[in-house]
Amino acid sequence: MSTLRIGIVAGEASGDILGAGLLAELKQRYPDCVIEGIGGELMQAEGCNSLYSMERLSVMGLFEVLGRLSELLGIRKALVSHFTQQRPDVFIGIDSPDFTLNLEGKLRLAGIPTVHYVSPSVWAWRSKRVFKILKTTDLMLTLFPFEAKFYQQHSMAVTFVGHPLANMIPLEPDKGAARAALKLPFSQQIVALMPGSRGGELKYLAEPFLETARWLLKRNADLVFVLPAANQQRYDHLRELIDRHYSDLPIVLTLKRSREVLTAADAVLIASGTATLEAMLLKKPMVVAYRMASLTYKILSRLVKSPYISLPNLLADAPLVPEILQNDVRPEVLGPAMEQALLESGSQSELKQRFYAIHQQLRQDANKKAVDAIEQLLLSRGKLSDDVDV
Stretch 187-213: mean pLDDT: 90
CATH number of the domain residue 155 falls in: 3.40.50.2000
Other CB atoms within a 10 A radius of the CB of residue 109 amount to 13
Instruction: Answer yes or no: do 354 and 373 share one domain.
Output: no
Instruction: Answer yes or no: do 371 and 357 share one domain.
Output: no
Range of the domain at 138: 5-162+364-380
Specify the DSSP class assigned to residue 345. T
Taking Cα atoms as reference points, which of 37, 42, 38, 35 lies closest to residue 14? Answer: 42
- pLDDT on residue 301: 66
In which band, very low, low, confident or very high, does the pLDDT at 318 lie, cut at 50, 70 and 90? very high
Cβ neighbours of residue 181 closer than 8 Å, sequence gap 6 or more: 260
- Amino acid letter for position 103: L
In which band, very low, low, confident or very high, does the pLDDT at 224 lie, cut at 50, 70 and 90? very high
Residues 227-240 have pLDDT tens digits of 999 889 899 999 99
DSSP 220-288: -TT-EEEEEESSHHHHHHHHHHHHHH-TTS-EEEEES-HHHHHHH-SEEEEESSHHHHHHHHTT--EEE
Stretch 125-154: mean pLDDT: 89
Q: Count of domains in the chain?
A: 2
Residue 351 lies in a domain: yes
Instruction: Answer yes or no: do 125 and 15 share one domain.
Output: yes
Residues forming a β-bridge with 289 = 271, 324
- pLDDT on residue 305: 67
This prediction has a pTM of: 0.79
Cβ-in-10-Å burial (0-12, 13-18, 19+) of 344 comes to middle
DSSP 145-171: HHHHHHHHHTT--EEE---HHHHHS-S
- pLDDT on residue 98: 85
Stretch 201-220: mean pLDDT: 93
Instruction: Answer yes or no: do 93 and 214 share one domain.
Output: no
**Least confident among 44-58, 214-228, 353-367:** 44-58
